[in-house]
Chain A
Amino acid sequence: MADAPKIEVSRRGFLKGAGVTAASTVIESAKAFGREANSALQSVPTVGPGPLPIKLHINGEEHIVTVEPRYTLAETLRDNLGLTGTKVVCDRGSCSACTVWIDKVPALACMTLSVDAVGREITTIEGLSHGDTMHPVQAAFVKHDAMQCGFCTPGMVMSCAALLERNPNPSLADVKHAVSGNLCRCGTYPKVFAATLDVAQHRVASGLVTLSAGREA
């Protein structure tokens, strides 16, 4: 982090970017903003609205990318870094298709400013598998056919994998709750539930405690 450029966002730009509210991620973003706010108020010059280079830690790798402060993390991942596994569907925090993990907690990349992700550990769907080896949740999604068109699938996988990180033995109601924000138009939900519960049951049966969740595991 020592060589990361110091980033600050103008309050106006932040508010513009966050003008649409959606519960969980805005709170996440606001926290991130607040964490740096004290030092910002002292001496750090305001940056933006022009582009600036930032360093992002994604799937265990550092990426330096030039973005405008208004770019969302979803836009930066997809358009600047080519990580197009993260999908944008509603672009306003109501469908969870763009779910990534920020510091291992599910977050909506369309509701997170890229500059707010600086210094955070970002995991995307691409970071969940290694080469041809899929994360157990991904493998279970394939086994149970928990996908049709597949556009909601990366977001579903990120939500379900995060659930199993925090609750190794969830109930059906827990799974429904975990993906209650993930919209699917093809109707894959029943198989999403089955796949996630299958992973949990397999893990409990085999005594496994943690999943290999991306490279940081």
Chain B
Amino acid sequence: MAPETATLEGQQVAATPAKQPTRTDNFVFGIPQDGLQTKQREVPLDEPPPLPPNSELTYIGKPTQRYDGPAKATGKGKYTADVQLPGMLYARMVDATIPHGHIMSIDTSAAEKLPGVRAVYVIEHVYGVAELRNPKLDGPSRYPTIRYAGQPIAGVAATTQQIADDAAKLVKVRYDAKPFVVDRTEARATDAPAVFPGPADEAGSAGGGGGPADVPQKGNVHGPERRKRGDTAKGFAEADVLVESEYFTQVQTHSALETHGFVVDWKPDEVTVYASTQGTSSVRSEFADVFKLPKSKIRVITEYMGGGFGAKFGAGNEGVVAANLSRKANAPVKLMLDRRQEHIVSNRPDSHQMLKIGAKSDGTLTAIQLTSYGTAGVGTGAGTAGPATNMYKCPNLLTDEYDVFTNAGPGAAFRAPGHPQGCFAFEQTIDELAVKLNMDPLALREKIDESPARKVERQLILERTNWRNRKSAGSDPGPIKHGMGIAQSVWYRFVNMDSSCEVRVLRDGSVELMSAVQDLGGGTKTILAQIVGEEFGMAPANVVIRIGDTRYPIGPDSGGSVTAGSITPAVRDAAYQAKGKLFAAVAPALGTTADNLATQNGRVVFKNDPSKSYSLRQVTAKLPTDEISARATRVAEYSKDRLTYGGVDFVELAVDTETGRIHVEKVFGAHDCGRPINPTGVISQINGGMLQGISYALFEQRIMDDKSGYMLNANLENYKILGAREVPEIEVALIENYIAMSSTDAAGIGESAGIITLAAAIGNAFYNATGVRMRRIPMTPANVLAGLGKVQREVMA
């Protein structure tokens, strides 16, 4: 799966196998604000009955306390960084101190002699970067070519972290340095140093890193990846109005609080891997590939996870190094990246985008053309065409996306890959079009947007914000100017069929759920408990949720907002089947038949005689065996319809035109994620997406030094992320959108939650405040004053 290149055309949609016996069910369908309808679907015979709307359910759709909230609030939750095993060693990664060149020699003898050091491992292959189509072009060498400062070279393991840190500094690397380039614009020049000596591609990874292969490459410029529909020349000829625009976005680092890291305990019988990962399954797969091990001999555990945002999938160089050190030292090894390395290991690529949009005088779009250049450093995947391609109805489209290689750390999937960049340019250009057409930006979108969800969301913007009181652009008289703006997002329904679980019911009334799926903080444990609780009529907190361990049935990797939509139907199916088995097993003892039993208000009742009612425990006590269980795997989508999700976000802000400071005062967002399972958790995620979006728009920026090739601000004091004082008033309206696609209709919210739109909405509000278009983020005071024409700025991009 590759969300960063996500298009409706490329979307993964599971096909329904042809010969399965089916039945026809009626499902609730649509959005309550529009009036709910009924949709008929053919579903496999053993699927649970359709769920009614959330208003008629007990636990699903109700604000629910986070399942592991107490463990997190008390510090008892054990993250990978917290794992301690008997005899465990601590490791440190040694990384490159030059941005480009060959390693002539590596001398590890001094490190090995340091008391307490137990193993040193020198990397043979670098993972997670683009690779030459013809590897021989790199020339013969024992060591991988260095293409960015901070590239992993070796790892050392010692009895304490401090000794490992000391030993890492004693590894002596001799380099043959080569010319390098860290700036996207300079890298496009024909005489720029070549990051790769020939064409190179990055294979797609579990999390959606990488990008297209088999595209042309000239120098450092890889691409274009072209998408085309209709005839843009014809479309532009038919247009009454043309808008051409140019926008720039910066490199953003993921900056998860828990760094990338692993604890690996390599034993001959089984390799146990504690991983800070978004995909236990992806880690197991990559360990199996790298070490030529059967998957059955690899166990991956992720109980608590300190943030990933798209960058944590697979084994990574850290996992491979930790495993090799563990094998060499015959002891468990913990290898967490340090904060500097965390800033270099992954990022959201930058962009330079040129857009041209044609429209009729009533707003109807006739053609969209986008050309984008972005650098994912030594990786690929900097495309930005998602919003331009998939948001609005337009018959003629042409997009060309180019990756530009630079000597910098690799890009990776980052919350809605490509979409915040794309939206920043595209949704501001749509506003530019509205200005030219003299239309209200919301009214223009009403004309060109076919999404029923966003239509309802725009109505909520009108009803619940100050939008109608918007003044004309730049009309505030004083130096502090106020403005309002909106922007819309699009994201896609992806489903990962590797979504399985087991539900066990024990004679004492316990109910357990097991799956390898992991909870990154989005609240997966909680929604699974709600779904099991709904089937058994028991409070979610009383369901035992055991996840994040590949000894349990396989779970989906959490990328592209797939988790809720993929795993919850399997969980409901398993819970439904386990309940059926329970009823069948106990019905004779209760003097009835299984089909006469149902759960209601937390009790088991006779359908034909509601006066006969038992607690779950009274019923399970009659089980002939101590345990029954049911296992289920994700059933194919009920329909082949290709669905998108979206949100509309509103921003109110003030610009100090003398200091260049922007103060975001209020954000209102209306969002859709199918059937919301836990509104509390969904709103938490949307808050987070909005705040990350503000942070991206105003503060964050990786700064590369073109003299040394180093990232200058690889820390949290100079790489500024949003803090408490910059938090505006936030309001979220969550709409229910019943789609009749699965037994739960759930969907994730991670991507469409504000991160896509906020930079564009802030840009549009900035224009409304000042009458000036901000074409570059971050909107730091320097960039704002330059944008306002008050200071000169050196054009960097």
Contact = CB atoms under 8 A, between A and B. Distances in A.
A169 interface: no
B75 A125 contact: yes
A147 B727 CA distance: 16
Interface stretch (B383-391, B443-451, B595-603, B688-696): B688-696
A187 B690 contact: yes
Interface residues of B, number: 56
A94 B82 CA distance: 21
Contacts of B72: 147, 150, 153
A28 interface: no
A126 B72 CA distance: 11
A192 B521 CA distance: 15
**Highest count of chain B CB atoms <10 Å: which of A75, A86, A88, A151:** A151
A134 B74 contact: yes
B309 interface: yes
A90 B688 contact: no
Nearest to A139: B73
Interface stretch (B482-490, B559-567, B715-723): B715-723
A184 B257 CA distance: 8
A192 to B, nearest CB: 8
**Highest count of chain A CB atoms <10 Å: which of B66, B74, B81:** B74
A90 B339 contact: yes
Contacts of B721: 183, 185
Contacts of B309: 185
A180 B720 CA distance: 13
A180 B307 contact: no
A2 interface: no
A95 interface: yes
Interface range on chain A: under 10, 10 to 19, 20 to 34, or 35 or more? 35 or more
Contacts, number: 173
Contact of B716 (A84, A90, A138, A175): A90
B73 A89 contact: no
Contact of A151 (B160, B306, B339, B681): B306
B521 A150 contact: yes
Contact of A85 (B76, B723, B725): B76
Interface string A178-208: 0111111111111111000000000000000
A190 B79 CA distance: 24
A153 B73 contact: yes
A135 to B, nearest CB: 8
A79 B163 CA distance: 13
A78 B83 CA distance: 10
Contacts of A75: 161-162
Contacts of A134: 70, 73-74
Interface string B293-328: 000000000001111010000000000000000000
A201 B68 CA distance: 25
Interface in B251-310: 255-258, 304-307, 309
A145 B66 contact: yes
B18 interface: no
A132 to B, nearest CB: 8
Contacts of B185: none
B687 A187 contact: yes
A151 B66 contact: no
A179 B385 CA distance: 38
B522 to A, nearest CB: 7
B724 interface: yes
Nearest to B254: A185
Contact of A84 (B82, B256, B685): B82
Interface of B: 65-66, 68-79, 81-82, 84, 90, 160-162, 255-258, 304-307, 309, 338-339, 520-523, 680-681, 684-685, 687-692, 715-717, 721-725, 727, 730
21 contacts: A68-B162, A85-B76, A89-B339, A89-B716, A90-B716, A91-B339, A124-B75, A134-B74, A138-B73, A141-B73, A145-B681, A147-B73, A147-B521, A148-B685, A176-B727, A177-B724, A183-B721, A185-B721, A187-B691, A187-B722, A190-B730
